[in-house]
Structure 1
Amino acid sequence: MLQELSIKNFAVIKAADIHFNEGMTVFTGETGAGKSIIIDAVGLLSGSRGSAQYVRHGEEKCQLQALFLVKSNHKKIQNILEKNDIDFRSQELLVQRDIYKNGRQVSRINGSIVTISLLREVGSFLVDIQGQNEHQELMNPENHILLLDRFGGDSFLQKKKTYQPLYQDYLDKKRSFNNWQNNEQEMNQRIDMLAFQLKELEEASLVDGEEEELEQERRQLMNYQNVMKSLSDSYQFLVGNDEHSSVDFIGRSLDQIENISELSEDYEAMSQKLSGIYYELQDLISSISNQINDLDYDEERLNEIEERLNIIQLLKRKYGSTISEILSFYDQAKQEYIQLTQSEEDVTDLEKEILQLEKEVLEAGRAISIERRQLAGELESHIHQELSDLYMEKAVFKVDFPKEIKNLSIEDADSQGLDRVSFLIATNPGEPLKALENVASGGELSRMMLAMKTIFAKKQTLSTNILDEVDTGVSGRVAAAIAEKIARISKNNQVLCITHLPQVAATADHHLYISKEVKKGRTSTSVKYLEEDEKIKEIAEMLAGSELSEHTLITARELRKSKSN
């Protein structure tokens, strides 16, 4: 359940802190006041796509926070958080998302930074947002099979998860076999090319890091004269001759300081420093001498290095910008070469694997199809009951399967199973069943969506359902029926609902009024909890507009009384 929502610098909202309760909470207010913006904030905290456009003009970032109380879905969320080393010691879950105007985004769960995909995974167990745009889910026949399967709950979806990797394995092996058959000539050409490339690289025997070592050795050889002169001159300056040796002068200086070192701590310190310098110079002279003795100019070696570097440059132009990339290319080419040059026996084995997988896919797919048809019958029954409650008792709803189970084949298989599913409906008596997307009006779609929401709410472990103007296109007694239906959902789940219907607003346990005002040229949105007489006044205005009469106030009070009854 959503307990607290904090919004800062989000769209037209400067700052808002909203406390939520169990049951049904409605949001009302004039169009454009920011009701949907609050729902957008919850959506972002559930992992929906964010954008710098959400940041209030003139601000560096927007910050969203939500505190959830986790109940029935505790174990599922706990497993996800433990897997990702996120602290979760109580039933409270603090979710935060910061969006900066430069596009950067940071998400946190209980203080730990998380990815958007992880935020979305956790959010899927916390909140379900149903809006007007989700009518399109019903209007797209490709989604009908997903809605039917969702009705099956976790146990059915788990069977699909068992089937799907089996089907993917079959698909991958089938694709490999088809590629082998259809592109044999092309593959032979590819094999020849890979063989040439592998031979060229193997003969080169590249070693990661050798180019840098060769470049350094080449620089030394090419600068032999300069290096030898610098080392020799340096040696002479330090050693000189017996009368002018720098080291000898320092040694004599050391002798003089040592003579007086016992007279003062300062002299002793000078002696020690001078002694260190003297012996360090001795070591340095020895090192320079060794370098001079070891230095050797080898023109043949220089030619070898140049030739090797030319080979490396040639291979870099072909296979990668660095030796590391060339070696990576070699590994990939080797793997591809091994796969393409598999023997005829391997291909035969692949065919056998495909046949076995085909049997397993069909067996698992048909088992799903049998259960899916049972689910379809149950869904039809539930939908008819819910539509009857919403004054569509004459409507006929059917889940259509174009093929019988006995006629299903491996050609019908996809990631969802073997079935194709579409929802058919006849909204008036005597009319033939037609595709839902070609028949239903806006109001009828609203009722269909609410019927499904009511059915699915009984199966879901979600604690918060958000309905964004799902009552569009209805009025009168249908509006009252929708209000009753939403109130029924709120008995088991927290419901947050944006509405323009007074019947729905009157049914709510809690009422938030969203308003906007302009101060100093800036628009800002505010949120207010309404007391009972304020609720009645707002419902009356929803009934009759801003000019209130005693009659509309009485009607509003009656609507509220009917809620309590």
Structure 2
Amino acid sequence: MLRELSIRDFAIIEQVHLTFDTGFHVLTGETGAGKSILFDALSLVVGGRGSADFVRHGSKKAEVEALFEVEDGHPVHRTLDELGLCLEEEYLLVRREVSQNGKSTCRLNGQLVTLAMLKQVGQHLLDIHGQHEHQSLLRVEEHLAWLDAFGGSALTTERRKYGDIFQEHQTVVKELEQIDADEKEIAQRMDLLTFQREEIAAARLTAGEDEELAREQSRLAHAEHLAQNASRAFEYLYGEEQGAERINRAARDLEDIVGYDESLAPVLELVQSAYYQVEEASRQLGRYKDELEFDPARLAEVQERLAAIDQLKRKYGDDVETIIRHGEQVAEELNRLEHRDEKKAELEQEKEALFGQMAEQGALLTRLRREAALALEKRVERELTDLNMKGTHVHVAFHGDGKEPVYTETGADRVEFLIAPNPGEPPRPMVKIASGGELSRIMLALKTIFSDLDGVGTLIFDEIDTGVSGRAAQAIAEKITRLARSCQVLCVTHLPQVACMADVHFHIIKESNEEKTRTRVKMLTDEGRVLELARMLGGVEVTQTTRTHAMEMLRLAEKTKQAL
């Protein structure tokens, strides 16, 4: 639910800060005062298109900030988790800035995000609908998704199963297409793979071999130097009158002292331990120098082997392990290509079996959708009856009936919502309905039905009551009022019948002087609502008659709301 909205230097708005509550909010004002600009700003904070035109003349950037309350279980939580964004409290602050060059920045709770990420989050926060902005309900390609959503968990579960089968089928089809690639290219590929396999196999590499060879090369190349140093170190440790012998003599002298003074016992232990360690080091050093030898032939062999491995590294990888893995992958691909005819036969069988499963699951999906379509038609017609459109016929058309099914990722169905506003008329596509008033009420009916399905907590209607008057206007007002019992509703309207039913009333005023034009927004008091409704009823001049009529409308509206 939207809690606060702050706008700065946006179009003709210099600065506005609004606080929202639950229920039905209405925004009214003279034509051109900037009512729809507020919704342009809200569209921006949920991922709408940014433009340099949004920046107020003389300003460097436009800023829009919206605070949303998102309770536990709100659909936006899952999207935030998928995007790696943490929401530690029940409020989400969305900020969007647009600079003079049209570039924009987006932030969620102070964290920079991409526009694509903002759109993913924004779709769960606001649903904005205007007279000319039909969004998904008027996009035929979206009708199937709405029907599936209306069908509930049973239908969406079966659609998910179908989708899994479809993806498996597509994977097999792509494998077959790869096998059926140009034979000349395959032959060339096989020649290359064969050469690589044989070259790597002939090297008979073992993991870590290059590192061991490098160590051996170092020893062989410096054998004489190593032998000299090892011999000298051995002599220092174990030669006559050298380290070990001197330590041993010190130990014997300390043993004699300890016989009379035990305080040096710890020192004796240290010296004895040192003697044993030096003796062990001498033995190991002796073996090392005895084994050292200068072998030019072996050195040349090691260097030749390392050069061969380096050549393979330049072709196939940075280390021996990578070269070995590449050889294994080459062998696997070569095996597939050599046995592609057998593989192709297996894939053809798998493709046929998956197509059968897809057709069976697609038929089940179609049956469930037709059942859901019948229920949806009746539900929409009931809603339209409430909106003074009794007798309107709604039909969910399944295109392609009687033809060979064409399977896509959503099934074999293509549906479109059709409407017959007047009895006796054939149903027509919703997008071709001429009457703006009829379209407004149809859209409101659909929004009422689907508001419980999409999880969006705030619905915004921008002048959807255009072209409506009289009883139809009252019906729209009552329908929005009912809708506002389950979600937050914001509505721009020119109709006093709608405005008087609101729980919160904002008045939008445009002020101009020789230097600049700006828009102000204020929340109306009870007296302010009377004056604004009187203006809407009577035009520029507010008379006692229009004031009386406005007060009567507010009184009757309160009575109607209590009865709904």
Q: Which TM-score applies when normalising by structure 2?
A: 0.70
Conserved 8 A contact 2:197-2:331: no
Aligned residue identity for 2:502: A
Distance 1:547 1:158, change over 3 A: farther
Identity of aligned residues (%): 40
Distance 1:197 1:99, change over 3 A: farther
In structure 2, the partner of 1:110 is 109
In structure 1, the partner of 2:369 is 372
CA drift at 1:341: 6.8
Distance 1:140 1:90, change over 3 A: closer
For the pair 1:537 / 2:531, whether they are aligned, the reply is yes
Distance 1:116 1:424 in 2: 34
In structure 2, the partner of 1:274 is none
Distance 2:86 2:190 in 1: 53
For the pair 1:449 / 2:443, whether they are aligned, the reply is yes
Q: Residue by residue, what CA displacement relative to the aligned partner does 1:345-391 show, whole Å, maximum 9, x if unpaired?
A: 12112212212221232233222222211211111111111111111
SS of residue in 2 equivalent to 1:516: strand
C-alpha RMSD of the superposition: 3.3
Aligned residue identity for 1:8: R
Aligned residue identity for 1:489: L
Q: Residue by residue, what CA displacement relative to the aligned partner does 1:163-220 show, whole Å, maximum 9, x if unpaired?
A: 3343233234335535755xx5xx1233356568879999999xxxxxxxxxxxxxxx
Conserved 8 A contact 1:397-1:424: yes
Distance 1:354 1:540 in 2: 71
Conserved 8 A contact 1:163-1:417: yes
Q: Which TM-score applies when normalising by structure 1?
A: 0.69
Question: Out of 348, 356, 365, which is 1:351 matched to?
Answer: 348
SS of residue in 2 equivalent to 1:15: strand
CA drift at 1:102: 3.3
Q: Residue by residue, what CA displacement relative to the aligned partner does 1:72-109 show, whole Å, maximum 9, x if unpaired?
A: 643x3333334444332221111112222234432222
Q: Residue by residue, what CA displacement relative to the aligned partner does 1:210-265 show, whole Å, maximum 9, x if unpaired?
A: xxxxxxxxxxxxxxxxxxxxxxxxxxxxxxxxxxxxxxxxxxxxxxxxxxxxxxxx
Distance 1:4 1:341, change over 3 A: farther
Distance 1:110 1:335 in 2: 52
Aligned residue identity for 1:111: G
Distance 2:187 2:374 in 1: 58
In structure 1, the partner of 2:467 is 473
Alignment of 1:437-516 (within 5 A): 437-516=431-510
Conserved 8 A contact 1:129-1:465: yes
Distance 2:84 2:179 in 1: 45
Gaps of 5+ in 1: 206-311, 316-326
SS of residue in 1 equivalent to 2:44: helix
Conserved 8 A contact 2:197-2:330: no
For the pair 1:189 / 2:184, whether they are aligned, the reply is yes
Aligned residue identity for 1:397: V
For the pair 1:559 / 2:558, whether they are aligned, the reply is no
Alignment of 1:38-437 (within 5 A): 38-71=38-71, 73-74=73-74, 76-135=75-134, 137=136, 140-153=139-152, 156-177=155-176, 181=180, 184=181, 187-191=182-186, 194=189, 343-402=340-399, 411-437=405-431
Distance 1:366 1:564 in 2: 51
Distance 1:518 1:549, change over 3 A: closer
Distance 2:197 2:351 in 1: 36
Deviating more after overlay: 464-473 vs 361-370 = 361-370
Q: Residue by residue, what CA displacement relative to the aligned partner does 1:133-166 show, whole Å, maximum 9, x if unpaired?
A: 3337555543332332232356644543443343
User: How many equivalent residue pairs?
Assistant: 437
Aligned residue identity for 2:415: V
SS of residue in 1 equivalent to 2:18: strand
Distance 1:156 1:558 in 2: 49
Q: Residue by residue, what CA displacement relative to the aligned partner does 1:381-413 show, whole Å, maximum 9, x if unpaired?
A: 111111111111111112122466xx686x421
Conserved 8 A contact 1:135-1:445: no
SS of residue in 2 equivalent to 1:459: helix
Conserved 8 A contact 2:29-2:507: yes
Q: Residue by residue, what CA displacement relative to the aligned partner does 1:264-299 show, whole Å, maximum 9, x if unpaired?
A: xxxxxxxxxxxxxxxxxxxxxxxxxxxxxxxxxxxx
Distance 2:170 2:443 in 1: 35
In structure 2, the partner of 1:209 is none
Aligned residue identity for 1:55: V
Distance 2:49 2:192 in 1: 45
Conserved 8 A contact 1:86-1:110: no
Aligned residue identity for 2:3: Q
Deviating more after overlay: 395-404 vs 43-52 = 395-404
Distance 1:99 1:436, change over 3 A: closer
Structure number with bigger Rg: 2
Distance 1:549 1:493 in 2: 36
SS of residue in 1 equivalent to 2:414: coil
Aligned residue identity for 1:32: G
Distance 2:513 2:338 in 1: 75
